Amino acid sequence: MLQISQHLLPVDHTDTDLRRSVLTLLNIRDEHLLSLTVKQRAIDARRGRAQFSLTLLVEVTNEPAVLKHLAKTPRVSPAPDETYRQLPERSETFGASAKNGPPAEQAAGLPPTYPSSPVEQAAGLPPPSRPLIIGSGPCGLFCALLLARAGRKPILLERGKPAGDRARDVTGFWRRGWAFNPESNVQFGEGGAGTFSDGKLYTQIRDREHRIPWLLKEMVIAGAPEDILVKAKPHIGTDRLIKVVRHIREEIIALGGEVRFETRVDRLLIDAGKCRGVILHDGSTIESNQTILAVGHSSRDTFTALHAQGVPFEPKPFSVGVRIEHPQTLVDRIRYGKNAGHPRLGSAPYKFVAHCGTGRAAYSFCMCPGGLVVAAASEPGTVVTNGMSSYARAEANANSGFMVDVGPADFSATHENPLGGIDFQRTLEQRAFELGGGNYHAPAQLLGDFLHARPSTGPGNVKPSYEPGVHWTDLREILPEIVSDTLAEAIGKVNLALPGFDLEDAIMTGVETRSSSPIRIPRDPETLACITLPGLYPAGEGAGYAGGIISAAADGMRIAERLLKVGQSS
């Protein structure tokens, strides 16, 4: 099998055009091209026009001759093997008796146990019990799926509600005046923070183990659109993501796992310097010597409790800013020129970084073409913005986080107070709540007014999408000066790359504070356990090991692989 990369074709190309172009490139006749598959489709929108850049897999009758002929064409090479091999078939790790537990345990109705690995024996840990996973975001969910498939019957604990009930709470709060629910919102509930999102499924992490192609295939099996396997920048959308999350939950349960909703972990069970399980909000305990902490970046009460219990935390830089909204038609024109609106291209995304004289960079974050700005707080009396879209990306506006990096020096986090970043986020979110009018409306400002440092009094030609509503004001009253100054300076620079971005009527809605986790829980690179608390496995975005749906899911897989004693940590 050969792989051809960066194969450029016009947006309107036909299958015949594609086949002909490959025959020409490979210099072979039609009968020698045995198969032709599009492996990946990217949109190349440089130079103001859009075309497709394809990665192709082809089978030809005489591969060595073709490769020899094309020796000087680096775009053509043998296709790489991208099979995910970290997880052996169940029979390789556990025999039939291990699957159901030793006979004595089965008779006693006890959960199955498994032999300790040499690493666990060295750490003085008993044989592993059923793994406990705290949090059903992408990290916890995929960790649980792998463990369930290996017969480990994981117990998944989730503070929020199942996806359907959660969706009712969230949309009730946005659209029907329902009270804000601190346990069921855009951050908390089945599927985690990504359930109400654009569902972008790409990441910049290295993937030597090929977890990502495996993850995408699993999502398609669970109900995601098939085009996520081909698009270079796949996205699934909130509407389809909820179905996928439910499907994975059902599989975990069918394999003997448990998923307990509205079950908040308040503290860890710690004994003799080891994590032995969890203490739930109702005071009950669940014991396990494998507890995976996949609570996301917004579980502030959990972080505070664990910090008090001696779990080590380190402060980490993150970003703060606002959501900025433009008409999608404008973004399409800026990015795709005369191809704007072409049905094969869909709504155009953008991405930018602008290095400013303030010594900081402003950048676009989690851009949502054809999407909505959403209320994403997890604590009462706060306003947090983020973005989401459905699979169709058909809303009138494009939005993105317009962010500036902040570090421990900005929020006085120290070794003694590693949670200082959380206090910093919370202060901004509370100020946004107050400036928004104290009713969960978000403070908003027109870009033109922000640049002229004057408050806004109402919208221009762009309608804000944020629900329950916005309050027109001056965002400089909330944002740290360095952030406001960097955003203001960045606009001119961004406009050079995206002419028209400086639209006076573009809407800025504040504040966006949850771009990534403000903390990291250090873990041993070999065992992946917390460095000072064996038996606890910090994972995913909240622990500082991921920054999006796919990287969080991949980290969950990595933990599961480690617990199953296969694969190398990476």
Residues at the interface with ligand FAD (CB under 6 A) = 134-140, 157-160, 186, 188-189, 192-194, 196-200, 264-265, 294-296, 299, 302, 366, 374, 376, 386, 388, 540-542, 546-550, 552
**Closest CB 236 distance from ligand FAD, rounded Å:** 9
Contact (Cβ atoms closer than 8 angstroms) between residue 334 and residue 491: no
**Closest CB 549 distance from ligand FAD, rounded Å:** 4
DSSP states of 402-436 as a string?
A: EEEEE-HHHHT--SS-TTHHHHHHHHHHHHHHHHT
**Closest CB 342 distance from ligand FAD, rounded Å:** 23
* 178/160 Cα distance (integer angstroms): 17
Q: At what angle do helices 549-563 and 138-149 cross, to 10 degrees?
A: 30
- For strands 2-10 and 76-78, give the pairing: antiparallel
**Closest CB 364 distance from ligand FAD, rounded Å:** 13
3 state SS for 6-17 = EEEEECCCCHHH
Cβ closest to ligand FAD, residue 152 vs residue 297? 297
**Closest CB 446 distance from ligand FAD, rounded Å:** 23
Cβ closest to ligand FAD, residue 98 vs residue 139? 139
Cβ closest to ligand FAD, residue 45 vs residue 265? 265
Contact (Cβ atoms closer than 8 angstroms) between residue 143 and residue 291: no
Q: Which DSSP state fits 87?
A: S
Cβ closest to ligand FAD, residue 86 vs residue 184? 184
* 171/163 Cα distance (integer angstroms): 12
**Closest CB 285 distance from ligand FAD, rounded Å:** 14
**Closest CB 216 distance from ligand FAD, rounded Å:** 13
* 365/373 Cα distance (integer angstroms): 13
Cβ closest to ligand FAD, residue 84 vs residue 202? 202
Residue 455's identity, in one-letter code, is P
**Closest CB 429 distance from ligand FAD, rounded Å:** 13
Cβ closest to ligand FAD, residue 128 vs residue 548? 548
Cβ closest to ligand FAD, residue 58 vs residue 546? 546
Cα distances (angstroms) measured from residue 350 to each of 330, 366, 518: 11, 10, 26
Cβ closest to ligand FAD, residue 159 vs residue 326? 159
**Closest CB 386 distance from ligand FAD, rounded Å:** 3
Q: At what angle do helices 300-308 and 420-435 cross, to 10 degrees?
A: 150
φ/ψ of residue 3, rounded to 5: -115, 130
List strand residue ranges (DSSP E) for 447-539, in order.
Answer: 470-472, 507-512, 519-520, 536-538
φ/ψ of residue 447, rounded to 5: -60, -40
* 434/452 Cα distance (integer angstroms): 23
Q: Where does residue 399 rank: exposed (0-12), middle (13-18), buried (19+ CB within 10 A)?
A: buried
Other C-beta atoms lying within 10 Å of the C-beta of residue 504:
14
Other C-beta atoms lying within 10 Å of the C-beta of residue 67:
16
**Closest CB 379 distance from ligand FAD, rounded Å:** 13
Cα distances (angstroms) measured from residue 156 to each of 270, 333, 418: 19, 46, 28
**Closest CB 260 distance from ligand FAD, rounded Å:** 9
| Beta bridge partner(s), residue 320 | 404
* 424/14 Cα distance (integer angstroms): 54
Residue 508's identity, in one-letter code, is M
Cβ closest to ligand FAD, residue 76 vs residue 554? 554
* 432/511 Cα distance (integer angstroms): 6
Cβ closest to ligand FAD, residue 280 vs residue 566? 280
**Closest CB 238 distance from ligand FAD, rounded Å:** 9
* Conformational region of residue 491, where left means phi above 0, alpha means psi within -120 to 50, and beta covers everything else: alpha
Cβ closest to ligand FAD, residue 131 vs residue 189? 189
Q: Which DSSP state fits 95?
A: -
Q: Which DSSP state fits 228?
A: G
The contacts of residue 68 (CB under 8 Å, 6+ apart) are: none
φ/ψ of residue 63, rounded to 5: -60, -50
**Closest CB 166 distance from ligand FAD, rounded Å:** 9
- Tokens 């059903």 label which residue? 136
Cβ closest to ligand FAD, residue 519 vs residue 549? 549
Cβ closest to ligand FAD, residue 22 vs residue 265? 265
Cβ closest to ligand FAD, residue 24 vs residue 204? 204
**Closest CB 478 distance from ligand FAD, rounded Å:** 19
